[in-house]
């Protein structure tokens, strides 16, 4: 991926362009994680692409380069409880807000991978940040691709850490997504405390998850 998409913003006077993306939005278990990444203008990180197009090892290598070369990055997450209480879209926005809050510098402009651009504030600033949503932006923008890699690798790290505490579900393999093995484990053992009850209710008719497990 070259830097041509991001370069248009620097040519318009944007010096600190921030890409924002999430990981885990469609999973049945675990938090949703967002990352915000500001890269130096014009930089091209070798092998960087949308995290879904990279192997786990390629993502890890890219994440190391991003952390070394970025002007700054921030990570935020929303818990399973927040997902169930707010809904996944609002919880994703909350994770994005937390990621931006954790940036070491205030961005000039933000690119959010996706369809929606929520109000995003930097720390205690009263004015919302400028920016726009770009559908499939993580395949166009280096900053957005970097955010997707940081979010994905960090969430994978979290799910790997949780795996020994919940060994029957295989979180280290599927990272909480709805694979057959994962669904079968839920049916056999019931949901754990890190499963999203709101998601399981939606698929209840097809999975046979017991109603009493969802309360």
What one-character-per-residue DSSP string does 101-167 give?
Answer: HT-SS--SEEEEESS-------TT-SSPPPEEEETTGGGT-HHHHHHHHHHHHHHHHHHHHHGGGST
**Is the per-residue pLDDT at 106 higher than 50?**
yes
Distance of CA 164 to the CA centre of its chain: 23
Residue 73: what pLDDT?
98
User: Within 10 A of 95 (CB to CB), how many other CB atoms are there?
Assistant: 28
For 33-53, what is the mean pLDDT? 93
For 92-114, what is the mean pLDDT? 97
pTM: 0.93
Q: Is 72 helix (H, G, I), strand (E, B) or coil?
A: strand
For the stretch 128-139, pLDDT in tens is 999 999 999 999
Q: pLDDT grade, residue 3 (50/70/90)?
A: confident
**Is the per-residue pLDDT at 2 higher than 90?**
no
Residue 46: what pLDDT?
87
Residue 212: what pLDDT?
47
The structural domains of the chain, with segments of one domain joined by +, span 4-162, 163-214
Residue 34: what pLDDT?
98
Distance CA(28)–CA(195), nearest Å, equals: 6
Residue 201: what pLDDT?
82
For 138-157, what is the mean pLDDT? 97
Residue 110 burial class via C-beta count within 10 angstroms: exposed 0-12, middle 13-18, buried 19 and up: buried
Residue 115: what pLDDT?
95
For 19-43, what is the mean pLDDT? 96
Q: Of 1.10.10.10, 3.30.1490.20, 3.30.420.10, 3.40.50.720, which CATH number belongs to 4-162?
A: 3.30.420.10
**Is the per-residue pLDDT at 204 higher than 70?**
no
């Amino acid at each position: 991926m070259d830097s041509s998409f991001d370069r248009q913003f620097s040519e318009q006077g944007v010096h600190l362009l921030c890409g924002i993306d999430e990981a885990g939005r469609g999973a049945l278990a675990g938090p949703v994680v967002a990352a915000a990444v500001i890269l130096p203008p014009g930089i091209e990180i070798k092998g960087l692409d949308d995290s879904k197009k990279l192997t786990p090892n390629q993502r890890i290598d890219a994440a190391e380069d991003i952390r070394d070369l970025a002007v700054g990055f921030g990570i935020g997450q929303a818990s399973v409880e927040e997902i169930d209480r707010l809904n996944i879209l609002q919880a994703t926005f909350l994770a994005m807000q937390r990621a931006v809050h954790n940036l070491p510098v205030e961005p000039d402009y933000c690119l959010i991978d996706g369809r929606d651009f929520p109000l995003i504030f930097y720390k205690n600033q009263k004015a919302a940040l400028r920016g726009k949503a770009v559908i499939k932006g993580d395949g166009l923008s280096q900053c957005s691709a970097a955010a997707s890699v940081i979010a994905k690798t960090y969430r994978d790290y979290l799910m790997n850490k949780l795996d020994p505490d919940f060994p029957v579900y295989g979180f280290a393999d599927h990272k909480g997504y709805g694979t057959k093995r994962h669904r079968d484990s839920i049916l056999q053992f019931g949901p754990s405390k890190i499963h999203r009850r709101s998601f399981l209710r939606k698929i209840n008719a097809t999975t046979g998850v017991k109603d009493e497990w969802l309360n």
